[in-house]
Amino acid sequence: MQNKKIMFTGGGSAGHVTVNLALIPRFQEEGWSVDYIGSEAGIERQLIAPLRNVKYYGIATGKLRRYLDWQNVKDPFKVIKGAFQAYRIIKKEKPDVLFSKGGFVSVPVVLGAKLNRVPVLIHESDLTPGLANRIAIPMATGVCTTFAETEQHLPSGKARYVGAVIREQLKRGDAAKGRAYCGFNAMKPVLLIMGGSLGARKINQAVRASLSRLTERFQIVHLCGKGQVEPGLDSPNYKQYEYINEELPDVLAMADVVISRAGSNSIFEFLYLRKPMLLIPLTKEQSRGDQILNARSFQNSGYSDVLYEEQMTPETLASSVEALYASRGIYIDRMQLDERKDTLEILFKLIKDTAKTRK
């Protein structure tokens, strides 16, 4: 596969970039040339910038909304402009394959690849495809899925169930280092709370309103989101951070139970690490409902409990966490039945096989 070239796309959120970040080094190790098409100023540009020998192309992009907004008048023109830009870039660079992780920026890129007869492989994290991927799927050669159930939502013959891609660094966490980082001891269980960047405020409010009850039972590390640290609340049993980067594997390793939103990437990482979880999915008013489906799937598999935001109060949150911890052994036993496999290697081979289909 010498002198081969792969192009990646995906952006709008970190979740639409992390799989690409995991795959890029593998292709570079085999001598592939790597390009990336993303938005002009999105988070994907920041995340790709530190990578060596990856050429980044920024294009115009617009958000595809399901609600009335004045930007809906302008954004279709941005998408059209982005499609022309992507078409010209792909025509010039001549990649052997395009791998798309989704997000709104991916739509014009997939279209540009299709017009240039470049095979496209899409990755879908959620149980049902998002709007951007639903638009792009008819133009793709295949779609790799994280949930086995996703196949029933895709055109016949296109689905490739691969499972979840787990970041390698998360597999190397050290619980003792996590406790040292947070100043915790090994005598009291640890509750990790990851609200996420979307809708974190309501979880944060419920957690802080129930702190006196929760800290009687747990040491709590709370990742509360940018600008949402509450000064003066830190105590020996409660540590709060906007986010944690390098130390996250160690913090995850020390956690006994987790409270989280139900984004696909996060919950599959908790599953891999065998962390019993209380999932609080985004409501349909806050999202397209994908997190609700993700959470129900995990609950039905016995991997998690679910607390819907409409039912969340300081009391129901505390009671749910206490019940989760009391039954943690049952959840861990169910998680042990989930087969750990090298999804990244499976995906790597699928992309190379897709590249061979280029005419």
Kindly report, residue by residue over 120-179, the tens digit of the pLDDT.
999 998 999 988 899 999 999 999 999 999 999 999 889 999 999 898 889 999 999 999
Maximum pairwise Cα distance, the chain: 65
64 confidence band (pLDDT: 50, 70, 90): low
Percent of the chain past pLDDT 90, that is, above it, reads: 74
Query: Could you give the C-alpha distances from 180 to 42, 247, 257, in angstroms and in order?
Result: 35, 11, 18
Those residues whose C-beta lies under 8 Å from the C-beta of residue 276, and which sit 6 or more positions away, are 256, 257, 258, 304, 324, 325, 327, 328, 331, 332, 335
Hey, which residues does 58 pair with through a beta bridge?
38
pTM: 0.83
Of the chain, the end-to-end C-alpha distance in Å amounts to: 16
Q: Got the DSSP string for 85-118? A: HHHHHHHHH--SEEEE--STTHHHHHHHHHHTT-
Q: Are residues 239 and 108 in the same domain?
A: no
Q: Are residues 273 and 152 in the same domain?
A: no
Q: Are residues 212 and 349 in the same domain?
A: no
- Mean pLDDT value across the chain: 91
Q: Are residues 60 and 146 in the same domain?
A: yes
Q: Which of 288, 250, 299, 238 is nearest to 133 (CA)?
A: 288
Pick from 53-57, 101-105, 139-143: least confident: 101-105
Range of the domain at 282: 169-336
Query: Could you give the C-alpha distances from 10 to 44, 160, 337, in angstroms and in order?
Result: 7, 19, 32
Q: Are residues 177 and 130 in the same domain?
A: no
* Domain of residue 218, CATH code: 3.40.50.2000
Q: Are residues 116 and 211 in the same domain?
A: no
Q: Are residues 215 and 317 in the same domain?
A: yes
**Tally of domains within the chain:** 2
**Structure tokens belonging to residue 269:** 């990482």
What integer pLDDT is reported at residue 330 of this predicted model? Answer: 98
Q: Are residues 130 and 149 in the same domain?
A: yes
Position 1 pLDDT exceeds 60 = no
How many CA atoms are closer than 13 Å to the CA of 185, on its beta-carbon side? 4
Q: Are residues 16 and 152 in the same domain?
A: yes
Q: Is 170 exposed, middle or buried (0-12, 13-18, 19+ CB in 10 A)?
A: middle
Q: Are residues 274 and 297 in the same domain?
A: yes
196 confidence band (pLDDT: 50, 70, 90): low
Q: Are residues 153 and 282 in the same domain?
A: no
Q: Are residues 157 and 243 in the same domain?
A: no
